[in-house]
Amino acid sequence: ASPPVMIAVDIGASSGRVIIGRLPAASGQAAGTLEMEVVHRFPNGVTEIDGSLHWDAEAIFAQVQAGLEAAGAVVRENGERVVSIGIDTWAVDYGLLDAEGELIAAPHAYRDARTDAVIERVHATVSPERLYAIGGMQFLPFNTVYQLAAEVDLAGKRALMIPDLLAYWLTGVERTEETNASTTALFDARAVAWSPEVFDAIDAPQLFAELIAPGESYGRLLPEVAAATGLDPAVEVVAVGSHDTASAVAAVPADDEDFAYVSSGTWSLVGLELDGPVLSQASRAANFTNERGVDGTIRYLQNVGGLWLLQESMRDWAGQGRGRELTHLLAGAAALPAGPVVDANSSEFIAPGGMAGRIRAAVEAAGGSLPAAPAEPGSGVDADQAATVRCIMDSLAAGYAASLRTAAELAGKRPAVVHIVGGGSQNSLLCQLTANATGLPVIAGPVEATAQGNLLVQARAAGLIEGGLTQLRAAIAVDPVRYEPQQ
Ligand code: LFR
């Protein structure tokens, strides 16, 4: 029979990719190591429509289909067989469907400021304390509960989270994947079900589809999708940890020791894997979240600003005609001593635009300073750029260390190592500074943890690997780099 393969569709805020995954059987009982082949990459980003930020979901879907077509061609050439497709993206955002099942408008993007006007109103009907006791979500201004409260008229509409919307367009089946549902703050963390109380509080109908857990199938490809992509209509779309962070945490290459993790991309998601939620008011005060992970685990974590601060600073500099390569900026920053830090968790850094200036303002507001931008930019990394990047790296490492200390206290755990996965795992300055700030060894990699977590859940659904997260993690492809804390 032709060898089975899985396809991961993994879409982040700044890029997406479609990846073929193969899990060759090893000798004996254990599964082999996952192999990945990227067949399609595309840029992603928010689109501004009438002054607010949106995702062009239809353009994203066109890229998904292009990627599936490319994957199909490779698979046919190799004489392989696609068993399933799994989709993950960022969380909290959704598309609204009308009575005919048509997308009504481009979904709002979470960095849009529209919820500012409704947060107080929501808290007047359901207190932050009560919200936390039900859902255990950290307060973020873009939580789905506030976004829905900002909608004008929800009567007769249905909502699908972004990965579920893409799955719906592939299969015609409407479901809400559980790890993503858990990020909405409309979800009961203990009951693992929607919370009627929270929907009532914001006066919204319960407009989401029935839940689906990672490993379950949405259904088969629609005939028109099979025709457009050249894939077999028998291919199933399987739910994975459709919240990208859930898939990333599933692919933290941990063995049995107590570990902490940082899923480091546009955001840094910093925390612990737990068996059950921590819904105490102390946990609320510290703003920790209890998102669901693969296999019913709890991702007890906090959002730290992340490489967004760096990406946006680089965008600023490019706009000023002094764009610099990332490697040069990081080398410039690494050559400097530790400098001032900002609070990378602060909501003042959520919105796009003017980031380098906002970081400078935050440093100055705290009584520090950064070198002035030169009147005549040099050809290499300027002093202000190196100092700003150094500030971002020191701030992220300090933020990681503070979050991990608090998480450990609140959850009563003592992690022995910190795993950094995602793009930030390639940033050796950030990894070393994190080891220094936490006083713990850092194990860096894999870079593509999210896609690996996505593929391994599919592989298990297809019967290619058995067991729980420990067994899945043993199949992760990674050559981790270890950083010991230094003075
Ligand atoms: C990371 C992420 C975070 C979530 C943020 C917004 O990509 O999914 O986990 O808090 O994006 O959805």
- Per-residue pLDDT tens listing for the chain (487 residues): 899 999 999 999 999 999 999 998 766 556 799 999 999 999 999 999 999 999 999 999 999 999 999 999 999 999 999 999 999 999 999 999 999 999 999 999 999 999 999 999 999 999 999 999 999 999 999 999 999 999 999 999 999 999 999 999 999 999 999 999 999 999 999 999 999 999 999 999 999 999 999 999 999 999 999 999 999 999 999 999 999 999 999 999 998 779 999 999 999 999 999 999 999 999 999 999 999 999 999 999 999 988 999 999 999 999 999 999 999 999 999 999 999 999 998 989 999 999 999 999 999 999 999 999 999 888 899 999 999 999 999 999 999 999 999 999 999 999 999 999 999 999 999 999 999 999 999 999 999 999 999 999 999 999 999 999 999 999 999 989 999 999 7
Q: CB-based contacts of 178: which residues, under 8 Å, 6+ apart?
A: 192, 211, 212, 213, 214, 239, 292
* DSSP designation for 355: H
CB-based burial label for 93 (10 Å; 0-12, 13-18, 19+): buried
Neighbours of 10 (CB within 10 A): 28
Identify which of 341, 255, 259, 252 has the alpha carbon closest to the alpha carbon of residue 304: 341
Between the alpha carbon of residue 19 and those of residues 102, 129, 153, 209, the distances in Å are 28, 42, 38, 27
Active site residues: 244
Residue to mutate, 92, 142, 145, 147, ligand 1, most ligand atoms under 8 Å from C-beta: 92
Angle, CA 405 vertex, CA 399 and CA 408 arms, to 5°: 135
The CA distance from 110 to 92, in Å, is 7
Q: How far is the CA of 91 from the centre of ligand 1 (A)?
A: 5
Residue to mutate, 112, 242, 244, ligand 1, most ligand atoms under 8 Å from C-beta: 244
The CA distance from 444 to 428, in Å, is 9
DSSP letter string, 76-119: HHHT-EEEEEEEEB-SS-EEEE-TTS-B-SPPBPTT-GGGGGTH
Q: How far is the CA of 44 from the centre of ligand 1 (A)?
A: 14
CA dihedral sign, ordered 211, 215, 221, 226: positive
Residues with CB under 6 A from ligand 1: 12, 90-92, 110, 243-245, 265-267, 269, 303
> Which residue's alpha carbon is nearest to atom 7 within ligand 1?
90
**Residue given tokens 């060759």 in the structure block:** 24
* DSSP designation for 25: B
446 preceded by cis ω (within 30°)? yes
pLDDT of residue 30: 62
pLDDT of residue 25: 79
The minimum-distance atom of ligand 1 relative to the CA of 183 is 10
The CA distance from 335 to 19, in Å, is 37
pLDDT of residue 28: 59
The minimum-distance atom of ligand 1 relative to the CA of 142 is 6
The minimum-distance atom of ligand 1 relative to the CA of 291 is 9
Q: Where are the extended beta strands (E) located within 293-392?
A: 298-304
SS percent in the chain: helix, strand, coil, step 5: 40, 20, 40
Q: How far is the CA of 204 from the centre of ligand 1 (A)?
A: 24
CA dihedral sign, ordered 248, 253, 259, 261: negative
> Which residue's alpha carbon is nearest to atom 11 within ligand 1?
90
- The answer to ipTM > 0.95 is yes
Angle, CA 46 vertex, CA 365 and CA 217 arms, to 5°: 120
